[in-house]
A and B are shown apart, each in its own frame.
Chain A
Amino acid sequence: MTTVGNPSSDSPDTRALPRITAGAAPDGADRPRILRVAGPLVEITCPPAVAMHDLVVLGAARLPGEVVAIHGDTATIEAYEYTGGLAPGHPAEPQGRPLSVRLAPDLLGGVFDGLLRPLAGIGDLLTAGETAAGEPERHTWSFTPRVAAGGSAAAGDVLGEIGAGVPLRLLVPPDLSGEVTWVAAAGDHPSDGVLAVVGGQEVRLEQTWPVRRPRPVARRLPADVPLNTGQRAVDLLFPVARGSTVAVPGGFGTGKTMLLQQIAKWCDADVIVYVGCGERGNEMADVIEELAELTDPRTGGRLAERTVTIANTSNMPMMAREAGVHTGATVAEYFRDMGLDVVLIADSTSRWAEALREFASRRGELPAEEGYPAGLASQLAAFYERAAAVRTLGGATGSVTVIGAVSPPGGDRTEPVTAHTERFVRCLWSLDRDLAYARHYPAVSWSESFSRDAAALAAAHARAGDAAWAERRGRVARQLAEADRLADLVELVGITALPPRERINVLAGRLLREAAIQQNALSPADAYSAPGKTAALVEAVLTVIDRCLELVDSGIPANAVEAVDFSPLLRARETAGPAETAPVTAARDSVLARLKEAA
């Protein structure tokens, strides 16, 4: 039936892909071979020893993939690269170990793909071979031993400290304990150099860890220490604790990425792991460039030095996007184990969920809601559970806070990813399209967001000497809700139809929004707001509002109060530096003086 023509010679510029004839594998029939290729889904013949989630290398181009199903003598592989040219009959090599990444202090300041392969130092365009060729950048670190040879050490114990902008430590790996037979002398060592021998095994700064296996801890701790994000809308109304979880749902154009980038730049964590997951390339380029230029106000170093960036843009292979969030969580846990507070930012988890859906569809899994696999909810829950405040194996405290963006299609909050995510997170910063269209940034909606950490954090603020924190937050929330309610009325009957106190409450809503809640990400003075400045701004606005209410109660007409020039107060967030309070107080006093004139 088959007519066999003359294979004509390829034109000179046609790069022939390797052709290996099915059934004629040179190494005999028992060597695993590829059976089927459909995009990222590859089926291979499966030797009995292959286990779920094992790494498999595919074809002559040695594309990495992961076993996701085993059925009889075939295994289904999820490939992490473009599989063009891969054909049935090509070889497959199970590696006998799960997908793992190299963890080392050198990750700080680096940019990686979803499998943690370095993107710096390779070509302009990412082809399969190009990404695989990236060599990890190894730095030299100054090491100071903290144990002496002869003692014993258990998993997680500190063997020494590493001089760097971020305080790093060399730990006994999680699965090791025993006698310390040798420790390197103080001095500079490369990250792949042996620094100690524990229980007969060499311990290096760099180590590998399977991405889908959470790193062990001694126990989880309650999350009750505030993470100061520097964003007033969040710190004031919907605060997040170190080790907590946040979802940020928002339609396109509501400023999700901008808010997350602001937090990556300014929050007071020790290490940031920024996972750009299926998002824009130009945006990624922008964040990489800005982090490299901005100074960390706490260490004086560059912000990039505390950041690990995982860049899997929307046109990079989709399945590496799926692995990317787990890779990010593993990197975050690695630094957490050193006793550090880490923030893991995933932008956007919806793109990750889409990768899950895409692959489930190719596997022919029965779809649940909107084509997503039935396991979507449990996968989302498992990802957010990698966040925690913990007692590490070595007895230190550390935390991983997870902040995940959600991109609901059509802004529809009932779609599966948004709906499930809301159930698993402790904080929700819901971004509102109307606020964004009114250029009110960050567009965190006060009516549709929540923070289940607020009570614990109020206690923490009270312990830290700010007993009025909870009262202030409650007052702001009430005032904003009241202003919203009245705004609906004003649209119907006009402002002049309201009683004086209500008119002042409408004014109060505007003052709170414009003077305290809004924040200009592009302004050096306002991009970041220290807790003291946030408290001072809120206190100033509330004092002014109270004074206005007193005035109308004493019979001053509401329009006389409304006509007062409040602009010093509105400009205070720009005139005061990120951690200054005195200019805010001065602005408050100047407005109070004007109110006195009006009285």
Chain B
Amino acid sequence: MIRYIYGNDLHTFPKLARTMFLDRADQFKTRLGWAVTVDDKGFERDEYDTENPLYVIWENADGSHGGSMRLLPTIGRTMVNDHFIHLTDGVRIESPLIWECTRFCLSRSATPGVAAALMLAGGEVMQEFGVEHYVGVFDARMVRIYKRIGSSPEILGQEGEGRSMIAVGLWEFTAEAQAKVSKAAGISPELSKRWFERSFGDIIDEAGLVAA
């Protein structure tokens, strides 16, 4: 299932958090060879993890991490504006209606539906919170994955060739795209909504509230 967890609440899901940071080390350092920092616990964490981001995480049946991504508002500090502004024509992308999505990670054992489930959850966030676009940094390997789940980003700028290609991309979500991703994920819109409500709360009618 998908969980939406702010950084300061990660401690309430210790196994999920621990395995997420381990899987990030495995993906970004071991497999991709990015120059990321891995601490003595084996966790890959960076300066943006201290900005209390909203993590969208696929939780396996045993409570461990299957895949995740990290969301931050672009009116605060973002990786795209701090480090990749040369790929956006020098434009600081900044708006309450645009969020940054980074550290898209899949564990080695992730089933094919996990990536699509994460994108579906990203769409849920957009729809519920009035987010119109995501910007994010991604690498060559992700191009194929995004394409497969029917959620290819628009490339704002890129550098490097072949496997070392890195790009700043832009996502928006139309209802059609959402339906396509839902199908690829094998998750009905109703189920996706239910997971969202588990994290962010359901609308409880006031009779229930006051009388409870």
Q: Do A and B belong to a common assembly?
A: no
Residue numbers of A with Cβ under 8 A of B are: none
Residue numbers of B with Cβ under 8 A of A are: none
